[in-house]
Homo-oligomer: A and B are copies of this chain.
Amino acid sequence: MTRAYNFSAGPAVLPLPVLEQVREELIDWQGSDMSVMEMSHRGKHFTRIAEQAEADLRDLLAIPDEYKVLFLQGGATAQFAMVPLNLLGKHNKADYLNTGQWSKKAIKEAKRYTTVNQVASSEADNFSTIPTFASWRCNPNAAYLHYTPNETIGGLEFHWVPDAKVPLVADMSSTLLSRPIDVSQFGLIYAGAQKNIGPAGLTLVIVSQDVLDQTSARPETPTLFDYRVQAQAGSMSNTPPTFAWYVAGLVFQWLKQQGGLSAMAEHNQAKANMLYACIDESGFYTNPIDPACRSWMNVPFTLADAAHDATFLQEAKNAGLLELKGHRSVGGMRASIYNAMPLEGVQALVEFMREFERRYG
């Protein structure tokens, strides 16, 4: 059986061996006579699942001991509120970089709680590039500096980490686990699961205990939204999304089997290079992003004539290449090529694109 290749931006393709294990254990997890979905989150089976997942994630990312790892709900959008509610403390200013639609959403929510200093923006360039770090007007008294290392919609990615003087907060929703990072450079990292981690409904937060200790949550913060409460409770301040946590744990094990994040970085860069080369070599496909800031994860591209879009999508689908339609705000196509997308999937896409160009270009 050959599976179609699913280029969805998220919820996104999961590794097939993970899905197979989920299926195998679905009704009876390892002799427990229960599905993971049926287990008390405080029972010994789920405790083992939860602890193993955290340990594997800590291994993969080499997370320093002084960082807490939280398994929360609400997606990155919940974090857009949780970050200011938890980290502002007595400050009334936060720095935000604006590099695309997810940055803008984070900024919009933060403005509901504080004065946002937009340190720089590439909106005038239609978010096709990242403002040079020298041009950022950072406020040394900001509570934190927030940025979006990968813009899922625009297809823009940082290949460097800003040297922040205040706690650096990163929305890594579509890039976490795609390459090694140095966690100690960040005050707080968050990521919705449904890209490289697991099923939707789970959000990872990796946060420095120092950053939490420096302040406390604003009084209006819902208790469930208080990082300190969740850290204290091992993310079980109430019932966590147990099944999604379990699937994420299987993804972490799969990543270790693949050789960890250095191996994933090689794999992801190879896939991205192959796809961008196909685009750049053609006179038919265009990617609008500054080559220095192109995303390894999300590759938007347009056809020379948008009149061919529907045909492209239909023929791609017939060829087993799914979910290539671009975000409605951008148009054209987008291929999301997360960890679980095999090289063969990108090869198949590139071959299809060349053949399509030959016939319609």
Taking Cβ atoms with an 8 Å cutoff, the residues of A that contact B are 3-4, 6, 8-14, 16, 19-20, 22-23, 26-28, 33-35, 37-41, 43, 73-78, 80-82, 85, 109, 112-113, 192, 194, 198-202, 219-220, 222-225, 237-244, 247, 320, 322-323
Contact = CB atoms under 8 A, between A and B. Distances in A.
B239 A75 contact: yes
Task: State the 10 A-B residue pairs at the shortest beta-carbon distance, nearest first.
Answer: A201-B241, A81-B222, A77-B238, A4-B33, A220-B220, A73-B73, A23-B26, A37-B199, A201-B201, A200-B239
Central interface residue in A80, A85, A194, A247, by most chain B CB within 10 Å: A194
Contacts of A22: 26
Nearest to A320: B33
A76 B238 CA distance: 9
A322 B35 CA distance: 13
A90 to B, nearest CB: 17
Contacts of A74: 73-74, 224, 238
A92 to B, nearest CB: 14
Contacts of A14: 35, 37-38
7 contacts: A3-B28, A4-B34, A6-B38, A22-B26, A43-B323, A81-B225, A243-B243
A200 B240 contact: yes
Contacts of A40: 8-11, 323
A38 B11 contact: yes
A237 B77 contact: yes
B247 A200 contact: no
What is the copy number of this chain in the assembly?
2
Given A14-B35, A40-B10, A78-B222, A243 B200 contact: yes
A225 B241 CA distance: 18
Nearest to A203: B73
Central interface residue in A8, A11, A28, A225, by most chain B CB within 10 Å: A11
Given A27-B23, A224-B78, A8 B201 contact: no
A138 B223 CA distance: 27
A112 B224 CA distance: 13
B8 A19 contact: no
Nearest to A22: B26
Contacts of A76: 238
A3 B33 contact: yes
Contact of A34 (B6, B20, B38, B192): B6
A192 B41 CA distance: 14
A340 B244 CA distance: 22
B19 A35 contact: yes
A23 B25 CA distance: 9
Given A33-B322, A322-B33, A241 B241 contact: yes
Given A76-B238, A81-B222, 14 more contacts: A3-B27, A3-B33, A11-B38, A14-B37, A14-B38, A23-B27, A26-B26, A80-B223, A85-B222, A192-B239, A194-B239, A201-B243, A201-B244, A222-B225
